[in-house]
Structure 1
């Protein structure tokens, strides 16, 4: 090993669903200190913990060209963020004064590393870290903490079950930038692996299925089997979908796996929320589906936030305060939402015990890891990790969100 830091960026080409067996190293240390902690970095978009943090959160979000590519981004981003801040601040006030996503991420992380300590003692102790893209703790803060703790190996673990270049891709790119900046004057000290998606992970599917079963128990037995399951995921512009982003197919794979686990006992449909702007997005929209079924006389529908693992503004405000409250005002009494996974022991335990996840910590360092370009997703042949490729940022994906 020459010790050079040659990171590998994520490819947007379709891959088999489920927890990835192909882990990506961002670099490797020449030596891994015995008994040094193994870091497990939980990456997500994040959200403002208090209402006054909303402006900074939106500013970082609109400055991210991977998520929202804008012309004259450095000029337009602060202008758009400033205009949207009052509206989004009001939404956070309505859900209790801030996003709970940090709380839930910390609880999930704490429970999971305890299980990993039992399952993989050879890489223990495992230490949890949170790296949010647009809210504190930011990626650079996470890396500083890991350095102080003497971490020599780490797993970058995306909290988006379904991969998109605009979400997971953006988080990985930010980690790459921070590591490059940190390694200019010194060799890399941490061996990195990445879990970039897990849409059909058994623990995820079981947790969703159990939550759905619990929610169905609240309906009258006479109508229970007729309740329509509306799997709601964050939408994506069709311009992004047509360039090959794998997100829609991976969301559909999650839905299929959950329904298979439930033996297809209820009618169901995949719907999409959080559309922004007049351009074409994935459809049907969640709100339109609710209205359409209501016109057909359907009263009982169960909303399932299938692309999220914890509560945040899109579940607590958009689903609970917009869609369900609107349904009640329209006279629908049977529209409910499945509880988010949050820190449910079934979810945390099942995921932490999965052998494939634990084995990530044991990946042997590679002599050299080269970059893989983010591409349109149209290529069918795998890219060789031994060939250098220029990172083409114009093909990164866009997905709008406001956690």
Structure 2
């Protein structure tokens, strides 16, 4: 188990790193799935959400436990987020002493360390300012939106206002350091293919899929994924053919396509025998990379007769990526907040067909935090 650093100084700036999280042990799988299927910001189940979530969890958890067992007994996302956070605040303390000391908090939506525990710790520490920093580079109502809704909901349930001022980094799909890090990982994948085949390799940028109903509602996620991919390919000089594909669909509804696993055979039939898979919407390894891409899709690639199936490394503790985290927070603190941008203008705009009242309540919450932030200056 990873031992976190002891933080003895009162932090001036807190950074809440938001993500879905993942069960670190097999006994955590069932409660993880229960929280996930009970999240109405993520998906709305028919009939009674709580009963349906319980039914689905009971049907699926043993299979999911088996998957986690096959990747070592749990998700490493907590470990990687901790390493990223350690490096980020270490860099920020040097780069930005005026907002130091910095302390990061991990706020996972469905697994420990949960957001509610992070909020409790923040209220105990009472930093002057807190940045809610999404670790989903591309915004979706189902991911970043759900995490931000949850923060507002938690304070409402506590019946108190935050003791700190707050601001939000709610998306960063084309941040230069992020693009540099993804480009490095893509090159590392390409370099595993012999030189005579490398230039012909197809790069598949694989992102977690989204139901078409969410896209039709106005969710910006697929457009922001496309922006990240184009920026990476621009950095690489468009040296290889590439496509965006989608993975991890759940349930019978229509989701974004083409599916990552289904294109493997199609490209093989057309003579494309070398593929590099780049997990473009994830900032660390977890079940979707370690099991779905590395085990399930690798088997499909072998059946399809691919000569080379390479999964590019995830960002994990990539030094360029860790530097980009610090750079992104520094830019937010020193540039965006002073010019009146405590959160992205896009966050203030709900999806055109949004009917979720939590989305407006969240915006009301952070608008109030914005007024408090500038009133304190």
TM-score band, normalised by the shorter chain?
A: 0.7 to 0.9
Give the secondary structure class of the aligned counterpart of 2:246: strand
2:57 is aligned with 1:57: no
Give the secondary structure class of the aligned counterpart of 2:204: strand
Alpha-carbon distance in structure 2 between the residues aligned to 1:167 and 1:180: 20
For residue 265 of structure 1, the aligned residue among 233, 239, 242 is 239
**Dislocated runs of 4+, deviation >6 Å:** none
2:73 is aligned with 1:97: yes
Counterpart of 1:326 in structure 2 is 300
Name stretches of at least 5 consecutive residues in structure 1 with no aligned partner. Answer: 1-33, 367-371, 380-389, 397-403
2:94 is aligned with 1:129: no
Counterpart of 2:145 in structure 1 is 169
Give the secondary structure class of the aligned counterpart of 1:82: helix
Give the secondary structure class of the aligned counterpart of 2:23: coil
Shift in CA distance, 188/365, structure 1 to aligned 2, threshold 3 Å: farther
Shift in CA distance, 199/347, structure 1 to aligned 2, threshold 3 Å: same
Q: TM-score, normalised by structure 2?
A: 0.86
Shift in CA distance, 142/119, structure 1 to aligned 2, threshold 3 Å: same
Alpha-carbon distance in structure 2 between the residues aligned to 1:325 and 1:359: 48
Alpha-carbon distance in structure 2 between the residues aligned to 1:36 and 1:240: 38
Alpha-carbon distance in structure 1 between the residues aligned to 2:298 and 2:276: 10
Counterpart of 1:336 in structure 2 is 310
Alpha-carbon distance in structure 2 between the residues aligned to 1:313 and 1:92: 7
Whether the 8 Å contact between 1:59 and 1:78 is mirrored in structure 2 is yes
Q: CA deviation at 1:128?
A: 0.9
Alpha-carbon distance in structure 2 between the residues aligned to 1:115 and 1:121: 10
For residue 47 of structure 1, the aligned residue among 18, 22, 28 is 22
Shift in CA distance, 327/339, structure 1 to aligned 2, threshold 3 Å: same
Mapping for residues 167-246 of structure 1, pairs under 5 Å: 167-182=143-158, 184=159, 186-246=160-220
Shift in CA distance, 122/364, structure 1 to aligned 2, threshold 3 Å: farther
Alpha-carbon distance in structure 1 between the residues aligned to 2:314 and 2:236: 18
Counterpart of 1:16 in structure 2 is none
Structure with the bigger percentage of helix: 2
Whether the 8 Å contact between 1:200 and 1:253 is mirrored in structure 2 is yes
Q: TM-score, normalised by structure 1?
A: 0.81
Measured on the aligned residues, the alpha-carbon RMSD in Å equals: 2.5
Whether the 8 Å contact between 1:154 and 1:361 is mirrored in structure 2 is no
Q: How many aligned positions are there? A: 347
Summarize deviations over 1:139-179 as a string: whole Å, max 9, x none.
11101112222323100000100000011000001111112
Name stretches of at least 5 consecutive residues in structure 2 with no aligned partner. Answer: 1-8, 342-346, 362-377
2:41 is aligned with 1:66: yes
Higher relative contact order (CA 8 A, sep 6+): 1
Shift in CA distance, 68/240, structure 1 to aligned 2, threshold 3 Å: same
